[in-house]
Amino acid sequence: MRKHQFVTATLVVVVVLAATLVPVAACENEPARPLRVSLFPYVPDNEHICNEIQRRWERLNTGVKLDLCKYKDWDCYSKVPADDLDVFELDAINLDYFVRNNWVSPLTDSDVENFEDILPFAWKGCLVDGRLYGVPRLACTSLVFYRAGDKEIASAQSLEDFARLIGDTPDNLENPEPNKGMLINLRSGSGCACLYLDAQMDSSGTYSLSPTLSPADSLEKAGFDSLTLLRNMAGKNLGLHKDPDAPDRPKWFAQGLGRVLIGYSEHLYFMPKESHAKIRVRELPLAKTNAVNLFFVDLLAVNPLVRGERRKLAIKFINLCTSSEAVTACLMPTTENKSSQYLFPVRRSVIENKDLLKVAPLYRDLGDILLDRPVAFRIGADSRRWLDSEKKLIQARLFSLP
């Protein structure tokens, strides 16, 4: 009886093992799931960047394909990382919120190649309580574009100086006028809210990783007064003008309309390349001076669900994507007649790259701004709740909207 039980048990074990080994052997012959990545989509030529990164990944011969398409429209301001999204790029203003919700995996210094080349402010912008949660790739800040030879704008020290030189724009004006007014996009509620926080820090002269996030009806007077000056220089209709697929304001400015254009560095991409020789770029003071030189920082992070060999692949991708060589290639013009995307890099070797400066000479102006006491824009763990609840209310208060 004992012998019969042993033989029966042995047969059962063999059958079970055979059943489990067959799918394992089959899986070994199946291709690994692609590495799924979402890069920050709000850039002028995302297709060029994705193609450049795709080519570089294929040269590594990892045996794992790169999928930049499934989550190409993933939005770090409103969405949660999907379980199968391995690597994603987010704005550091959301980092504390993501860390609090365990949506990002901590990294170590040893995970990051050539980390000493990364500008300190961008590196610090990826730290929460001393732990590293991502690798920075790009930065962004509001700038003043003005015409070469406009010495008054070049020498203006304060936002009030700008208001005195530019004056108010009539609210009912539908089209900008030659060399008059301020062209600025105030249609975004998030943009208005972030400008307020930036202005409040400039007004107080104090930088904070977790600024006070007041309700829209209780904003600090100094910060909101600065926001109101911008609104008055823009005018209601033009400040709230809705752009088509490509932004109108950079094109208007290149045509000689508006005295100054306020916006991000990539606005240069939407101006004819030949117009760049007549344009200069400077910092935007949102109070008496640009006391706190705030920069949004875009960083690449790893989903905490990614483990083992896939995590190693994820870190390999991040190092490739944030490398000096890859970032420089993404910023180079695609053709002789096209402009650089003029995004702010966060590696010193990129902003000082001679080949890039040769084909995109306004990086000299941008480099001066980038290296002048920069700090990362962070707004604490309550960022998403505050923006979701207050951004439209701040904009409505600014424009007296219903």
Kindly indicate whether the domain formed by 35-140+295-367 is annotated with CATH number 3.40.190.10. Answer: yes
Please give the average per-residue pLDDT across 350-367, as a whole number. 98
Is residue 12's pLDDT more than 90? no
Q: What pLDDT, on the 0 to 100 scale, is given for residue 98?
A: 98
Length of the chain as a residue count: 402
Q: What pLDDT, on the 0 to 100 scale, is given for residue 21?
A: 44
Quick one: tokens of 157?
Answer: 């020290």
Which residue type occupies 263?
Answer: G
Please give the average per-residue pLDDT across 221-229, as a whole number. 98
pLDDT in tens, 118-150: 999 999 999 999 999 999 999 999 999 999 999
Q: Is residue 216 within 8 Å of 389, Cβ to Cβ? A: no
CA distances (Å), 6 to each of 15, 16, 129, 293, in order?
A: 14, 15, 59, 77
Q: Do domains 35-140+295-367 and 143-291+376-399 have the same CATH topology?
A: yes
Q: Is residue 123 within 8 Å of 75, Cβ to Cβ? A: no
Q: Is 81 helix (H, G, I), strand (E, B) or coil?
A: coil
Of 140 and 16, which is predicted with more confidence?
140
Q: What pLDDT, on the 0 to 100 scale, is given for residue 31?
A: 58
Quick one: tokens of 386?
Answer: 């505050």
Q: What pLDDT, on the 0 to 100 scale, is given for residue 30?
A: 54
7's enclosing H/E stretch is: helix 2-28
Q: Is 80 helix (H, G, I), strand (E, B) or coil?
A: coil
Rounded CA-CA distance 118/322 in Å is: 10
Q: Is 327 helix (H, G, I), strand (E, B) or coil?
A: helix
What CATH number labels 143-291+376-399?
A: 3.40.190.10
Q: What pLDDT, on the 0 to 100 scale, is given for residue 246?
A: 81
Is residue 178's pLDDT more than 60? yes
On the 0-12 / 13-18 / 19+ scale of CB atoms within 10 A, 321 is buried
pLDDT in tens, 18-72: 444 444 443 444 558 999 999 999 999 999 999 999 999 999 999 999 999 999 9
Provide the residue ranges of all domains of the chain, joining segments of one domain with +: 35-140+295-367, 143-291+376-399
